[in-house]
Amino acid sequence: MSILVNNDTRLLVQGITGNSGATHTRGCLEYGTHVVAGVTPGRGGQLFDDKVPIFDTVVEAREETGCNATMIFVPPAFAADSIMEAVDAGIELVVAITEGIPVADMMRVKTTLTHSDSVLIGPNCPGIISPGESKIGIMPGAIHKPGRVGLISRSGTLTYEAVDQLTKLDIGQSTCIGIGGDPVIGSNFVDLLKIFREDDKTDAVVIIGEIGGTAEEEVAEYVKTGFEKPIVSFIAGATAPPGRRMGHAGAIIAGGKGTAAEKKIALKSAGITVVDNPADIGVSVQKVLK
C-alpha cells in the first residue's frame, strides 16, 4: 500500500509547457503516472505531446478531467499564486517542485492551506513516488522498488542514495517523499508520519534530516506519544559551523540551536535508530526489520 499517491492519482501539471515542466511531465508519463491535464495560461485548447489537454486555469482542468493532484513547475515569482489556485480549486495533493519561492509568499500559502483540505508537498523538493504506482516530481523512478518502507527526506540527493541502498538490499518502499529544505514548507515530518502510522502496509520509516530548524526534534516528541513502527534516521550537515547556511535555506544553525548533535540526542531519546554515516542507512533498516 502507499500514501498520498497511487494508481488512482490523476495528475495535473501547472507549467507543463516550460522546459522543466515538459521534461519531467514526460518522465512521469514514462513511469506510468496518469497525467490527465496541464495548465498554462493562454495555451488552453492545445495538447501536450499530442495527448495531454492543456487548460488556461486549474478550475477548468479540474472540472474537465477530475484531476486530484498537481505538480507545479512555475517560476518562483508566480509559484505561490499557482499553489493557491490549486488549493482554491480543491486539488487534494499539491506538489511544488519550484525552488526560490520567497518566504513571504509561502506564508500566504500556509494561511490558505489552513482553510483547506489540500496537502502540500514542497516547495523546493524532488516530489513523491509510490513505486510501481505513480510518480510526481523529479525522482529517478528506476532506482525504486515497491515494498513496505516509507521514506521522508529534507534532502533530494540523499533521498536517492537511501532508496538505492534499500533497493540493492531487496528492501522495497511504500512511498518516498521529499519535503523540501526551505524554511516554510507545506508538510513536515510529523504530518507525514501521522499518515504512515495509519498505513498497515508500511512497516518502517526512514527519515533524512538536516541541521537547522526544529523539525527533527518535533519528530522525537511525536514518536514518544506512541509511534510504534521503527524509524531509521540520518542528519546531514554535522560538520557545518554555526551561522553557516549549507545548501538549503532552512539548513542554518542559529543561536547554537538546530545542530546535528542536538537533533541526534533528541531522536535517540525517542528510541529512533540514528546513523552517523549515510552509507549505513540501508543496512540499519535491514536490522530493524528483522
Q: What is the pLDDT of residues 30-78, one digit of tens each?
A: 999 999 999 999 999 999 999 999 999 999 999 999 999 999 999 999 9
pLDDT band at 286 (very low <50, low <70, confident <90, very high): very high
Crossing angle, helix 281-289 and helix 156-168, to 10 degrees? Answer: 50
- For residue 181, give the nearest of 235, 116, 135 by alpha carbon: 235
Catalytic one among 34, 115, 144, 248?
248
Residue 240, pLDDT score: 59
The fold of 10-121 is Rossmann fold (3.40.50)
pLDDT band at 257 (very low <50, low <70, confident <90, very high): low
CA atoms within 13 A on the CB side of 148: 11
Residue 248 catalytic?
yes
- In the chain, which ranges are continuous DSSP H helix? 19-31, 58-65, 76-88, 103-114, 156-168, 189-197, 215-223, 260-269, 281-289
Q: How far is CA 165 from CA 121, 143, 243, 285, in A?
A: 24, 9, 32, 10
What residues does each domain of the chain span? Answer: 10-121, 140-289
Examine domains 10-121 and 140-289 and report if their fold is the same. Answer: yes
φ, ψ at 54 (rounded to 5°): -110, 140
What is the pTM (predicted TM-score) of this model? 0.93
How is domain 140-289 classified at the architecture level of CATH?
3-Layer(aba) Sandwich (3.40)
Average pLDDT over residues 165-174: 98
